[in-house]
Amino acid sequence: NPWQECLCIQFITDQYHQVIRNGTFILASTGERIRRQITLQEHSIPGSSSYDGLEDTDSSIYNAPLHLESCDSLPDVLRLSFKNLNVKFHLLCRWLKTSIAKDILKCSLAYLLGSLGTFFPPLTRFLGRQDGKHIVATVMVFFHPARSAGSMAEAAVLGFASVVYATVLGFLSMAISVFFETQCDMIEIAYGLILIFFCGGGLGLVGWFKQNSNSPLVGVACSLTSLSVISILTKEAAIQTGFFSWEKILQVIKMVAVGITMSAILSFLLWPVSARKELRENMIKVADSAGDMLSMIARGFLTGSENEIHSTMFTNAQKKHKQSFAKMNVCLREAKFEHYLLGTESLYKYESNLVNCMERLSQSIGGLRSAAMTQFTLLKELPTYGNSTPITSSQNMPESYADSLLATIIRRNEEFAVQKSTNKVSHENSKTESHQKSRNSIRIIDERIARGLSLDSSFFIPTVRNPSQIFSRFIVLLGPPIKSLVYTLHQILLEFPIKEKPENAKEMVDQFKKSLECALNLYSNARSKALKELYKDKELDIEWPLSIEADFEEVAASCGYFSSCLHTFAKEMLKFMEILEELREESQNSHRSWSWLRFWRKTWKSQKSFAEEEESLIPKIPETRISRKIPDLELKSLAKRKRSMSQNELNIWQTLAYKVLSFIKFLNRDDGLRFAIKVGIGASIYALFAYIPSTRPFYQHWRGEWGLLSYMLVCSTTIGASNTVGYSRFIGTMIGAVIAIIVWILCQGNVWALAFCGWLISLPCFYLIIAKGKGPFGRYIMLTYNLSCLYSYSLSIEDGDDDDDEGGIVPIISEIALHRLVSVLTGVVWGMIVTRMIWPVSARKEFQDGLSLLWLRMGLIWKRDPLAALLEGDSPTPYMNLREEFALHRYLLRLENLRNSAGSELELRGPFPAKEFGHIIDSTTKMLDAFHAMNIIIRTDLVVTEGEKCLLQYTADERAQLCLIISHLYQVLASSLKLEYPINDPLPSITKSRDRLLAKIFQYRKDSTDTQSNSKLVPKDEDYELLYAYILVTGQLAEEI
């Protein structure tokens, strides 16, 4: 009877909702088991924030209308104006309490102290008679005190190292000049040696170090080094005339030492910042955002809705996670210096391990997201079989799996209503009999529940007859354990005990570890039971078409894939808690070693590390161009000829040709060396005008040393980066020159007014440097202001050797600013010419070549067949280790930087399609997430069972064909991008190969079921998980490709 069946199904649905809502979960803080309704909708991402991180927590002051147009009388205007001022005052007071405001005020005060090197007579006399004392203020801009203690210590080391380097070059240059002038009377030879080796070689080495370090602080130190070297080599008259004088060198040492010392004192005394504390705070932020993303991914998987992952809240959590993680890596580097200063360097090892573990957790989050997105794709693409409810679009897709069953009930009710309308005449006794039957059915159900019948029984779950119902059955079986485990993990991540007291933290870590182990055991048992029940009622004896058989296995793979990724994430969390416990134990040790100072006791022994992150990386990813101008065959043939002529002596030309070809090949391999030579050549040519007697006055009058410094700043590895820096340098110089002219005219050389105006100007400049992250632009403005305004004051008080230059004691500020502007423009143009003419490196071409190389490497990785290595045991070509995986991700970050630089390159073929390539980078990132998920599944258990071995051998041919197709598609993509040739021909389909593999698995399951009574080995359901993960990863790769 339809009415009776409808009542029964409605009752079953109520029980179903009760199952999916309630489950046993573990409280992380106490370890208590509780069975009640739980939710995964609690997040730590703030709802809104105002300007520069100022959280909008008190909105009472914004409720009043603040528009003067609404006022009708003068008292209303005055009252509203006062209210506006009150609001602005409250905003200013709240902003001044933020860390950004404190950093800006601290930097401006440091700049004011640095300007005392020009304004304060005792300090001016200490620095010497020569001009250029504004460099003290410039040093304060370069090494500002808005740093942590560790960063300030690193800045001090780099600053003093730059002075030592400049001093060594200065004394060596002076010694060569004096020797050739006094002993040989050939000072021109000394000029040539100084230009080639010390100016070209010295500045080229600075450029090489800057390019290889890829650190903002090292870049600033290299700028200071260039300034010191250029000031000594091109402005020191002793080097150019051939006599010994150490006044300029001593002045440079004093100015840098005074600037760094003042900045360090302010950094340590005024609002000090600890990198160790910031590291822990960023760890908490990373853990919070990871917990939020975990809960949203799990809720999206349970409800079958991808709105969770595409929501604004998930995007904000992901953005916060990336920012906090990047800041955490910076803080780890800075905390290293603090630990070394405090003698607690042993703690750094554990903190580094903790950061590495958090990096693996972040990658596991990416694997979970990949698994959930695979499920969403399947829900959209699954066809309708028989009379099942179609799930073909987002409109038809239910919000949850429970709603899927509810939709079936509604459809059955509609069918019952149609039947009722056609049978209007019915008898009263038939109604009574139907009611009685329904009461009996419900009574039977009540009795079965009262006898303790499990709610997971198939009595409440319809037999699986189509792939869409596999999801519903899986969520009924494993939905509550997933919610329970995610709830426990979310609690642990939100209550991250890194900042607690040692005694409290130890208790929390121990309790969290026990709770997580208990929750993981519950989940593991439920997961094993769910996977066993998943295929119990599926009708394997029915002959399905090939595509339908593939869908059966694919949806089952999605369920097992997500549950396996979640299980791996929980196990990574256990390792995370163990490392945290070790860190806490080490932090309670009060012993301070300073063992790094006892360098004479160090023994350089190579120790083999068994840590995952220390595993050897297979051939390193080359970061140079793919194509080479000198083929290997040419060198090999020349070497072969040389070996064949070993009995006869080679002539000088053959030896020279071999050496030249070897050197060219070496240069073609090493981008850093080519960049250093290029920078050195350009610097030598530019500095040549300072040594030619006829051009030396012109060079000094137009302040050519600042043009040479601008050249060093503009020279970059790629044309796009050089254009970006050059544009910022020139615009910043223009703004600084205009500001200097206005300030000098207003102040008329008054020292108090100049100091106050300089302090005011430093505020917006440091705001650009600190708050907006536009460090070079803000530094260029301040540098030009120092060169013009502070230098003019030095001339006005006759503090310098060339007081008559540019007006003497009555400085002409417009002429001074013009000389600086022209010099800077000349250096910028020269830097762009050298970057484009000598070994030009296009960011566009580097990006395309690098992306092609990355795709080729990914294709080679997949060509190995990830599962084939398991059959081979200790394979010489494993799938992918963690070091290689980290290298691929870092290489992708390098490509992202190249993409940003490529947008600044101007070419006749049009602008660089940065947006389109951004989408390609996003797809490649998702591919690497899929690679990571596959790697995690493989590394979970490297020992294959007999059932897995049988499955892998049975599907070897299909997997080999699938791997070849994927590798071939990567090669096609790489070739198309490298050659800039569109893909017009049809490509082999990954989907068909996947369907064949899925059908082979389905056939193997049927055959093993039919022969279960025989002595042949029958694989267990968990033996299929490895192949399931493999299939889903290939599905995501197919979609992204």
pLDDT, one tens digit per residue, over 290-303 is: 988 998 998 888 87
CA distances to 136, 166, 365, 773, 899 from 715, in Å:
25, 20, 40, 21, 18
Residues 261 and 367 in one domain: no
Question: How many CA atoms does the CB half-sphere of 614 hold within 13 Å?
Answer: 8
Residues 825 and 851 in one domain: no
Q: What type of residue is 988?
A: P
- Give, for 787, the enclosing helix (H) or strand (E): none
CB 869 within 8 A of CB 745: no
Residues 699 and 774 in one domain: yes
Token pair for 175: 């010694």
Count Cβ atoms below 10 Å from residue 125 Cβ, excluding itself. Answer: 10
Backbone angles phi, psi at 528, to 5 degrees: -60, -45
Structurally, the chain folds into a number of domains equal to 3
Which is nearest to 119 in space by CA: 789, 765, 781?
A: 789
CA distances to 488, 498, 504 from 511, in Å:
12, 14, 11
Q: Does 283 map to a domain?
A: yes
Q: Does 727 map to a domain?
A: yes
Token pair for 907: 């070419």
Of 549, 566, 589, which residue is a domain's last?
Answer: 589
Q: Coil, strand, or helix at residue 302?
A: helix
| Residue 36 bridge partners (DSSP) | 23
CA distances to 8, 52, 686, 745, 790 from 821, in Å:
87, 33, 17, 18, 16
CA distances to 348, 357, 570, 577, 590 from 583, in Å:
9, 13, 20, 10, 13
What residues make up the domain containing 325? 1-38+276-414+462-589
Which is nearest to 997 in space by CA: 974, 1028, 1037, 1022?
A: 1028
Of 558, 574, 589, which residue is a domain's last?
Answer: 589
Q: Does 52 map to a domain?
A: no
| Residue 26 bridge partners (DSSP) | 33
Count Cβ atoms below 10 Å from residue 620 Cβ, excluding itself. Answer: 9
Of 818, 837, 856, which residue is a domain's last?
Answer: 837
CB 407 within 8 A of CB 395: no
- Residue 649: what pLDDT? 58
Residues 254 and 287 in one domain: no
- Give, for 564, the enclosing helix (H) or strand (E): helix 546-587
| Residue 394 bridge partners (DSSP) | none
Burial class (CB in 10 A: 0-12, 13-18, 19+), 409: middle
Residues 810 and 955 in one domain: no
- Residue 456: what pLDDT? 41
Q: Kindly report whether the global pTM for this prediction surpasses the value 0.85.
A: no
- Residue 444: what pLDDT? 42
Helix axes 2-21, 401-422, angle to 10 degrees: 170
Count Cβ atoms below 10 Å from residue 91 Cβ, excluding itself. Answer: 15
Which is nearest to 400 in space by CA: 456, 455, 476, 461?
A: 476
Q: Does 671 map to a domain?
A: no
Which is nearest to 524 in space by CA: 570, 487, 488?
A: 570
Token pair for 168: 């060594």
Give the CATH number, domain containing residue 327. 1.20.58.220
Residues 119 and 241 in one domain: yes
Cα(1036)–Cα(1033) distance, rounded to whole angstroms?
A: 5
Q: Does 433 map to a domain?
A: no
Q: Does 325 map to a domain?
A: yes
End-to-end CA distance of the chain: 52
Residues 869 and 833 in one domain: no
Residues 826 and 893 in one domain: no
Residues 788 and 935 in one domain: no
Q: Does 47 map to a domain?
A: no
| Residue 22 bridge partners (DSSP) | 37
Q: Does 207 map to a domain?
A: yes
Residues 113 and 168 in one domain: yes
Residues 175 and 321 in one domain: no
Cα(202)–Cα(170) distance, rounded to whole angstroms?
A: 10
CB 502 within 8 A of CB 589: no
Which is nearest to 960 in space by CA: 924, 1002, 1008, 996?
A: 996
The full DSSP string for 424-470 is ----HHHHHHHHHHHHHHHHHHHHHHHTT--TTSTTSS----SHHHH
Which is nearest to 1022 in space by CA: 569, 464, 533, 630?
A: 533
Burial class (CB in 10 A: 0-12, 13-18, 19+), 506: middle
Ranges of the chain whose pLDDT falls below 70: 1-25, 31, 35-73, 379-470, 499-505, 531-532, 534-554, 556, 590, 599-650, 798-807, 872-882, 940-942, 1009-1018, 1021-1022
Token pair for 15: 């029980």
Residues 231 and 356 in one domain: no
Q: What share of the chain is helix, strand, coil (3-state, %, to 5)?
A: 75, 0, 25
CB 855 within 8 A of CB 973: yes
- Residue 886: what pLDDT? 73
CB 580 within 8 A of CB 495: no
* The dihedral formed by the CA atoms of 505, 507, 508 and 512, expressed in degrees to the nearest 10: 140
- Residue 41: what pLDDT? 58
DSSP state of 71: -
DSSP state of 609: -
Token pair for 787: 């060169």
**Chain-centre distance for alpha carbon 550:** 37
